[in-house]
Amino acid sequence: MRFSRILAKTLAAAGSSVMPRQLSHRDGDTVWSVLTGQAYDNTPTIVLHDVKEIETWILRLLSAPVPVPGKTRVQLEVLSPTAHAPLVFALPDHTRFTLVDFPLHLPLELLGVDTCLKVLTLILLENKVVVQSRDYNALSLSVLALVAMLHPLQYMFPAIPLLPSCMACAEQLLLAPTPFLIGIKNTFFTHKNNFR
């Protein structure tokens, strides 16, 4: 459940506990209306008390020390533990797998598990690896994913997600003496007639 929904539930619960049905009040006299600045001048003191409680709770949360990555965390009970599990705020351990914003499963899906493992083995053994595809997006993301799959190791050689065929002498990069991981489109060699 998202934090905003939990906060809305908490405010609704505070509003319903503050305003019993037998008390006469306007619809605007709720905790939410006070927090959003829509309350009237003569808001009931019980509503203002709940708003003060929420403000104190927020100040305590803001004054809590930032968690040490991988060591400490801030645990927050918004609702009772029987209604909802506490929210946990923590920074990930820096040795943990890095966050990537591209699909790591793509090479496995496109190449198959066996071929993908062979390619990863070639990369680890510092071979020259050229990946060829007609889909530019899948090609670029696959090269990036192959590099990310080496974690916790780092690939220290050139990794080019998509080598442009329009670049003059681009094929000369394939003759480099060092290991590399390069993605090329399937029509790359048709544009480079003098390359063998």
Domain identity same for 20 and 68: yes
What pLDDT, on a 0 to 100 scale, did the predictor assign at position 21?
43
- Count of structural domains, the chain: 2
Domain boundary among 61, 89, 117: 89
Segments in the chain below pLDDT 50:
1, 18-25, 27-28
- Is 94 part of any domain? no
Domain identity same for 118 and 148: yes
- Is 99 part of any domain? no
What pLDDT, on a 0 to 100 scale, did the predictor assign at position 101?
78
- Is 49 part of any domain? yes
Q: Are strands 74-76 and 128-133 parallel, antiparallel or unpaired?
A: unpaired
Domain identity same for 40 and 84: yes
In 3D space, the residue among 140, 51, 77, 151 whose CA is nearest the CA of residue 103 turns out to be 140
Domain identity same for 53 and 128: no
Residue 10 one-letter amino acid? T
Parent domain of 50: 3-89
- Helix or strand (DSSP H, E) at 185: strand 180-185
What pLDDT, on a 0 to 100 scale, did the predictor assign at position 137?
93
Both tokens of 94, joined, read 């820096």
- Is 98 part of any domain? no
Domain identity same for 74 and 120: no
Domain identity same for 138 and 84: no
- Is 137 part of any domain? yes
| DSSP code per residue over 83-130 | TSPPEEE-PPPTTSPPP-SS-TTHHHHHH-HHHHHHHHHHHHTT-EEE
What pLDDT, on a 0 to 100 scale, did the predictor assign at position 146?
95
Residue 143 one-letter amino acid? V
What pLDDT, on a 0 to 100 scale, did the predictor assign at position 107?
94
Measured CA to CA, the distance from residue 162 to residue 185 in angstroms comes to 7
Instruction: Give the tens place of pLDDT for each residue, 28-54.
Output: 467 777 777 776 677 778 878 888 888
Domain identity same for 128 and 174: yes
Give me the CATH number covering residue 181: 3.40.50.11500
